[in-house]
Chains A and B, each alone.
Chain A
Amino acid sequence: MAARLGLPAHLSLLRGKLTGKTPNLRYLSGNASEVDSNFYDVIVVGGGHAGCEAAAASARLGRKTLLLTHKIETIVGSMKFITSCREMSCNPSFGGIGKGHLVREVDALDGVCGRICDKSGIHFKVLNKKKGPAVWGLRAQIDRDLYRRYMQQEILNTECLTVEASPVDDLILDDVTPEHGDDMVCKKICAGVVLENGRCVKASSVVITTGTFLRGCIHLGLDIRPAGRLGDAPAMGLAKTLEEAGFTVGRLKTGTPPRIDGTTINYKQLESHFGDDTPVPFSFMNKKVSIKPEEQVSCHLTNSSTKVGEIILQNKHLNHHIREEVTGPRYCPSIESKVMRFGNRPHQIWLEPEGLNTNIVYMQGFSITLPPELQEECIHNVRGLEEATMTRPGYGVEYDFMDPRQIKPSLETKRIKGLFFAGQINGTTGYEEAAAQGIIAGINAGLMAHGEPPFIVNRTEGYIGVLIDDLTTQGTTEPYRMFTSRTEFRISLRPDNADLRLTEKGYKAGCVTEERYKKTKDMEYKLSENIELLKAYKMSRAQWSNILRECKAEISLAKTGSKLSAFDVLQSSYFQVSCLSEVPGNPFQGIVSDDVLAGRIKIEGGDGR
Chain B
Amino acid sequence: MLNFAQRYRTVHIVCIQWKRCLSRTTFKMGRSVKTIYALSSGQGPAGLAVIRASGPRCSDVLKEVTKQSHLPRPRMAVNRDIFSPLSGELLDKSIVLWFPGPNSFTGDDVCEFHVHGGLAVIQAVLRALGNCEDLYQAEPGEFTKRAFINGKLDLTEVEGLGDLVAAETETQRQQALRQMSGELGSLYGRWRNELVKVVAHVEAFIDFSEDENIEGSIVDQAMESLKKLENSIRVHLKDNRRGERLRNGVQIAIIGEPNAGKSSLLNILCKRPAAIVTPIAGTTRDVVESAVNIGGYPVLFSDTAGIRETNDLVEIEGVKRATERAQTSDMVVTVVDASTLQPVIKNSSEIDDLVTALLRTLGTLQRTMDKAGSITDEIADNDTTSQQSMVLFNKVDLLAERERKILKEVMNSLTKDQGFYICGFSCKTLEGLDTFLEMLKGTVSKLCGDPLSGNPSLTQERHRMHLELCLAAMSKVKLDNDLVIDAEHLREALRHLGRITGHVRVEEVLDVIFKDFCIGK
Contacts and interface: CB of A to CB of B under 8 A. Distances in A.
Contacts of B312: none
A331 B509 CA distance: 13
A128 B210 contact: yes
A486 B506 contact: yes
Contact of A348 (B207, B213, B485, B507): B213
Contacts of B437: none
Interface string A467-490: 000000010000000011110101
Interface in B494-511: 506-507, 509-510
B206 A128 contact: yes
Contact of A331 (B7, B206, B514): B514
B506 A338 contact: no
B212 interface: yes
Nearest to A93: B521
A334 B519 CA distance: 10
B521 A91 contact: yes
B401 interface: no
A27 B506 CA distance: 48
Contact of A483 (B7, B8, B213, B510): B510
A365 B4 CA distance: 18
A485 B206 contact: yes
Nearest to A256: B521
Contacts of B4: 342-343, 345
A123 interface: no
Given A97-B211, A338-B520, A485 B203 contact: yes
A134 interface: yes
Contacts of A484: 203, 206-207
A347 B482 contact: no
B509 A491 contact: no
Contacts of B518: 333, 338, 341-342, 347
Interface string B179-194: 0000000000000000
Contact of B509 (A98, A134, A333, A485): A485
Interface residues of B, number: 29
Contacts of A128: 206, 209-210
Interface string A88-127: 0001000011100000000000000000000000000001
A491 B484 contact: yes
Contacts of A97: 206-208, 210-211
Contacts of A490: 484, 487-488
B520 A331 contact: yes
Judged by DSSP, the binding face of A is loop
Contacts of B208: 97
Nearest to A475: B27
Given A330-B514, A332-B521, A365-B520, A348 B206 contact: no
Contact of A364 (B484, B509, B519, B521): B521
A491 B513 CA distance: 20
Judged by DSSP, the binding face of B is helix
B506 A135 contact: no
Nearest to A136: B484
B362 interface: no
Given A332-B520, A338-B518, A342-B8, A485 B207 contact: yes
A473 to B, nearest CB: 12
A131 interface: yes
B520 A135 contact: no
B485 A96 contact: no
B521 A131 contact: no
B92 to A, nearest CB: 39
Contact of B506 (A341, A342, A485): A485
A96 B207 CA distance: 9
Interface string A319-344: 00000000000111111011001110
A137 B206 CA distance: 10
A70 interface: no
A132 B513 contact: no
Nearest to B515: A330
Contacts of A398: none
B483 interface: yes
Contacts of A350: 211, 521
Contact of B484 (A132, A338, A486): A132
A504 interface: no
Given A485-B509, A485-B513, A135 B206 contact: yes
A128 B484 CA distance: 11
Contacts of A127: 210-211
For A98, A483, A490, the residue with the greatest tally of chain B CB atoms inside 10 Å of its CB is A483
A364 B521 CA distance: 5
Interface in B205-228: 206-213
Shortest 3 CB-CB contacts between residues of A and residues of B: A330-B514, A132-B482, A132-B484
27 contacts: A97-B206, A97-B207, A97-B208, A128-B210, A132-B482, A135-B206, A135-B207, A135-B484, A330-B514, A332-B520, A333-B519, A335-B520, A337-B520, A341-B518, A342-B4, A343-B7, A345-B4, A348-B212, A364-B521, A365-B520, A367-B521, A483-B207, A484-B206, A485-B206, A485-B207, A486-B506, A490-B488
Given A97-B206, A97-B210, A332-B519, 11 more contacts: A132-B482, A135-B484, A330-B519, A331-B519, A345-B4, A364-B521, A483-B510, A485-B513, A486-B510, A490-B487, A491-B485
